Structure 1
Amino acid sequence: MTDLPNSPSTLYQIASLSKTFTAVAVMQLVEKELLNLDHPISQYFPDFPNGETITISHLLSHSSGIPDYLKGNFDYSKEWIPIDIVNTVSDSELEFTPGTSFSYSNTGYVMLGLIIEKVSGQPYANYIEEHIFEPSNMINSMFTVPDDLPKAEGHIEGKVGPLMHNSAAYAAGDIISSAEDLELFDRALRNNELISKKSLELMGMTHAKKFPNQYGFGWYTQDVMGKNAVGHPGGYPSGFRHYVTRLNDEELTVIVLRMR
């Protein structure tokens, strides 16, 4: 632990803000015609129950009905293999018929990470580094922080938060970044350097909803004081709470990274 003051370059575990990166990666692969949003996940998880009725689009929009593995008695502290995370809910019933409602499911984004790996032939982290971090010039974003680099430490009620192993989130939330780098990511999206304008607009459309939530692909869809917007919260039980809000029709994005 250090006493360095916080700054725009401070490294944070950004938690569920990572989901937007996963969604962008999926859209890149769709543009390359390596994925189809309407294809069933049974193509990638042949043994997953009801996989023939759940599509990639359902995973992206949290409309699959697959239970969230974090709702159970999940051990955050140990190292996890992604498929083992998926298997923790493989015997559970769907919460609803796919495509008929919304229920936030980290499991779906873990599955998307595995699909990215299968289709691209790269480990998830390597794909994100090569196809999102590098073209966005996000030189201070990573998946593992070297020992000689200081990073923000989560706190709860003034005390250091419990240990959370990064692998417990995988493609649903294991990116480490800074406010500065998240601004670079936002700028790259606005300049269509990562995905096309059409794909970006598709991400920002509402694809699933259940009051009071509306969700696109990798973002909540919102109305902010009459402005069309998207955004996402992020948090870890280790003591972090973050939020990003992005006005779609204006050059304004608000990025908040903080400890509880």
Structure 2
Amino acid sequence: MLTNSYLSKVTLRLSVVMLGSVWLTACSSLVQDHLPPAQSSQSRVQKAVDSVRTALEKSLANSVPSLNLYIQTPTEKIFASSVPAGITPYTENTNFRFASNTKTFTSTAILKMQQDGWLNSKAKITDNIPGTNMPYVPNTPAWDFPYKNDITIEQLLQHGAGVVDVDNDTIPGQFNHQTYTAYTQGLDPAHQFTTEEMVLLLTKFKLSYWAPGTDFHYSNTGYSILGYIIARVYSLKTGNPKTYDDYLQDHIVGPGTKVPLALRFPVRADDTVLPAPRAEGVERTPQGKTIIFGDYNMSAQVAEGNGYGTPALLNTFVRTLMKGQNVLTPETVKLMQTDVNPASSNQYALGNFYTPNLGFGHNGERTGTLSLMMYDPATDVSVVAFITLVDNSKVILNSPESTFYKSFNAIYGAAYGGRAALGYPGRP
């Protein structure tokens, strides 16, 4: 099993959500808004996605394994997979790891629990779970990290709690200048990560970005704590040990839910297999190496980036969720979309953010794959885009000339291009 343990790549993960708003103007639209009417919708979308992928190949002076788009309008569902000549395209039923798009599922779970009276998102994480004398997180020395008594569930959802991200950020003088998760998985690819061990780092090294509610800093560790809370509340309610995935299968996406979807959220280190048909991500490192990701231990990413499924299923989720047709009521969906951290430049709300001409949703990066899911209420158009390439061969932070940003922009280029090809507003 290959893992990704070098610092530059991990650092770049911090920027993925922010780039959704920051870098959208870095590239001009790669397709025309209106192609000849004689062409079918499928061929127009395919041409749009092809043009983005080939333009990226030219810009990188290197191959791009695949760029894929699922788009649904009020009248059509279209999937386009652009691949180099001689390569079999993916289908709408291809499994891929959708990474931080998982955060929207975590927010959905928290808000569903709130709908059911199981928790209060405004509560501090040291408050008791409703109807019990048990706090949301343990009252133990191991959990005595900075500002713990002041942090609310809402602030964790908004990345406003100041919780240091030990999955993305290094701890000075520790772990050979790598992040804790990268360092540990490099030593033992089969290591079973837990939220408790990551929280213990916050306590041991007294880690905090700043006081809760005063700023924005993307934090995978903050979402790991949310996943812990979901499991803790569900275990208490059922009287049996339960996991994050247990709650999602029973109440959010499983067979007995309102919109059943065969999506998975592995929590065990030995649950590594990405089932066929599947898309394996490719990563190019600053050292000139190429890593191909297949099966992978996602136990360090529970609740923040461990989800996988197909583009068709992910599209159904984001579309029905944001339309108020899934497990959340329209009123709760409105809260999810509008309860924004005012300190976030991209207006990050509760596990999602808004992007002009794409709507509400999330993006993600993990295991050599970049992805995006969005629903636009103005046009009733939803998109899921993913590229099986994370190119870190030329790392220039905060620059559109970085190969990472070029790869990242391609998923937005595909989404905007597909919309424009069907006559909807494209890149602003």
TM, length-normalised to structure 2: 0.55
The change in CA–CA distance for 1:171 and 1:247 in structure 2 (over 3 A counts) is same
Give the deviation of 1:97 after TM superposition.
1.7
Shift, 1:150, TM fit = 3.5
Matched, 1:217 2:217: no
1:141–1:181 contact (8 Å) kept in structure 2 = no
Question: What aligned pairs does 1:152-163 form with structure 2 within 5 A after superposition?
Answer: 152-157=279-284, 159-161=290-292
- Partner in structure 2 of residue 198 of structure 1: 331
Count of paired positions:
254
- The aligned counterpart of 1:109 is 223
Of residues 45, 48, 56, the one that matches 2:144 is 48
TM-fit CA distance, 1:101: 1.3
In structure 1, the gaps of 5 or more residues are none
One-letter amino acid matched to 1:86 = V
Q: Distance in 2 between matches of 1:172 and 1:60?
A: 10
1:166 corresponds to:
298
SS at match of 1:202: helix
Q: Identity over the aligned pairs, expressed in percent?
A: 25
1:17, 1:200 → 2: CA distance?
A: 16
Alpha-carbon distance in 1 for matches of 2:122, 2:115: 14
Alignment match, 1:232? 362
Larger strand proportion of the pair:
1
Distance, in Å, in 1 between the alignment partners of 2:222 and 2:365 is 17
1:183 aligns with 2:267: no
Match of 2:386? Answer: 257
Displacement of 1:4: 5.5
Question: How far is the alpha carbon of 1:257 from its aligned partner?
Answer: 1.9
Shift of 1:41: 1.0
Name the CA distance, whole Å, in 1 between partners of 2:114 and 2:276: 36
Cα drift, residue 207 of structure 1:
2.0
| Paired AA for residue 37 in structure 1 | S
Q: 1:148 to 1:247 in 2, by over 3 A?
A: closer
2:226 alignment partner AA: L
Superposed CA RMSD in Å reads 2.3
Kindly name which structure, 1 or 2, has the bigger radius of gyration based on alpha carbons. Answer: 2
- Structure 2 spans left out of the alignment, 5+ residues: 1-86, 127-134, 171-178, 236-241, 390-428
Distance 1:191 1:147, change over 3 A: closer
Q: How many angstroms apart in 1 are the aligned matches of 2:214 and 2:282?
A: 38
Deviations 1:163-215 (A, max 9, x none): 85210101111011111111221243124331111110111014214463220
Aligned to 1:128: 248
Q: What CA distance in whole angstroms lies between the structure 2 residues aligned with 1:183 and 1:232?
A: 12
What is the distance in 1 between the residues matched to 2:228 and 2:199?
Answer: 10
- SS in structure 1 of the partner of residue 196 of structure 2: helix
Measure, in 2, the Cα distance between the counterparts of 1:148 and 1:254: 23
Instruction: Give the superposition deviation at 1:250.
Output: 3.4
Contact 1:167–1:174 at 8 Å: present in 2 too? Answer: yes
* C-alpha deviation, 1:141, in angstroms: 4.1
